[in-house]
Amino acid sequence: MASRVVVIGSGIGGLTAAIALRAEGHEVEVYDQATTFGAIGAGVSLGANGTRLMDRLGLGPALREVGSDLHRIQFHEWRTGELFYEHPMGDWYTGRFGAPFLGLHRADLQQVLLDAFGSDGVRLGRRCVAIDETPDGVDVTFADGSSTHADLVIGADGVRSTVRQHVAGPDEAVFAGMSCFRGLVPVDKVPGGDRMGLTFFLGPVSHLVVYPVRRGELINFVAYTRDEAWTDESWSAKGDASQAVAAFEGFNDTVLAMLGAVEDTGRWALFDREPLRQWSTGRVTLLGDAAHPMLPHAGQGSNQAVEDAAVLAHFLGQPDLPVGAALTAYETVRKPRARQLQLGSRGNAKCFQVPDGPEAQARNERLANLPDMVSWIHQYDAHAELQGATA
């Protein structure tokens, strides 16, 4: 069984995996190309399928302290802002699914994970450029000329993963024909912001997802619009408030006030990739966006990375299971669910953006069944799933 594990990438999936693997007795180091700790100014939502796993790692209290419990879900008409569907979450959601639905600032979530793992275990400024794998171990080379040796390497290095290329070869990103603006706005600058839970504004060619983070002090928005011209995939790409307001001309006053109040907004094109046939080689595997980059329309990117981390740590914690067999078992459990969510996330955009009139009305009526439609996602318990799994 692997004893020295190197994780490439210090995002949500990489740090969660590092914490879970160390709890199983492994020596773990994390390497990241970033030169400083920090995170994009954006929100992350964790449903019960993610938060229950965080609870089992002992991180639940810290996450509840910095997060916002999303106490209701609401859908609004785009022009008037009229509420056409609402369902309680909060206690109802926790009672049904066994753990809360939290809105979190990405930087707050990353800090909780860093505090749990220890920032001294993360090596910054190390961009992975080469992987040399043998039956006995893996050598990782970084752009600065340094290198390290491990029994196992985990690629948690995102949608442009270097480790993914080692495992599966080069592939092309798939453009969704859509871009999004993201930003954070003080709650007092958003009309009705103090009453918002998980909130949607749905239009024919654009829609927004809005929810509170950081104990309700900030409102996070992700504003999607069909756009074949904007193809910049970078998370560091900047937009500005005037661009966002112009892109959502005709939306209701709440949306326009929120978009106009943002001081720092990012804008990027949406890409995913086709599902992989394999996630692993003998001593190298993938996790999170490196394994299954998905569009954000199911809100499951971070949750799936957390699920990956829990399942991978479980199999690598079996003392009599060789590394290769553990990675095969990990893929067997995780690939079908991740693939279903990857492909389903593509289809969800078509649900959120439909023409006004009969199509929108039919969509709105279907939302009455929303809790049952998404229950398979949120009630999933990765640890329970493993009870009957064999390697």
Strands 4-8 and 27-31: parallel
Whole-angstrom Cα distance, residue 278 to residue 209?
33
pLDDT of residue 39: 61
Give the CA angle between residues 211, 308, 236 to the nearest 5°.
50
User: In order of start, what are the domains of the chain with their CATH numbers?
Assistant: 4-173+273-386 (3.50.50.60)
pLDDT of residue 325: 96
pLDDT of residue 322: 94
Asked if residues 328 and 315 have their Cβ atoms less than 8 Å apart, the reply is no
Whole-angstrom Cα distance, residue 255 to residue 187?
13
Whole-angstrom Cα distance, residue 45 to residue 251?
24
Question: Is the alpha carbon torsion for 94, 219, 182, 257 positive or negative?
Answer: positive
Looking up tokens 């693939």, which residue turns up?
339
pLDDT of residue 241: 81
pLDDT of residue 324: 95
Q: In what order do the strands lie in the sheet with 137-142?
A: 128-134, 137-142, 147-150
- Count the neighbouring beta carbons within 10 Å of the beta carbon of residue 205: 14
Q: Which amino acid is at 288?
A: G
Whole-angstrom Cα distance, residue 240 to residue 238?
7
- Which residues make Cβ contacts (< 8 Å) with residue 37, sequence separation at least 6? 10, 110, 114, 119, 122, 124
Residues forming the active site = 211
SS3 content of the chain, % helix, strand, coil (to 5): 40, 25, 35
Mapped onto helix, strand or coil, the DSSP state of residue 228 is coil
- Count the neighbouring beta carbons within 10 Å of the beta carbon of residue 160: 15
Strand partners, 142: 128
* H/E element, 87: strand 83-88
pLDDT of residue 133: 96
Mapped onto helix, strand or coil, the DSSP state of residue 105 is strand
- Which residues make Cβ contacts (< 8 Å) with residue 282, sequence separation at least 6? 133, 135, 323, 324, 327
Looking up tokens 């996630």, which residue turns up?
279
Asked if residues 213 and 104 have their Cβ atoms less than 8 Å apart, the reply is yes
Mean pLDDT in consecutive groups of 10 residues from the start of the chain, 391 residues = 89 98 97 83 93 98 97 97 96 97 96 96 96 96 97 95 95 91 95 96 97 97 89 62 92 96 88 94 97 95 98 96 96 97 90 94 93 96 81 56
Whole-angstrom Cα distance, residue 27 to residue 6?
9
Mapped onto helix, strand or coil, the DSSP state of residue 136 is coil
pLDDT digits (tens, 9 = 90+) for 335-377: 999 999 999 999 888 889 999 999 999 999 999 999 999 999 9
Phi, psi angle pair for 313, to nearest 5°? -65, -35
Q: What dihedral do alpha carbons 350, 274, 14, 137 form, nearest 10°?
A: 170
pLDDT of residue 44: 96
* Pick from 317, 351, 185, 313: nearest CA to 254: 185
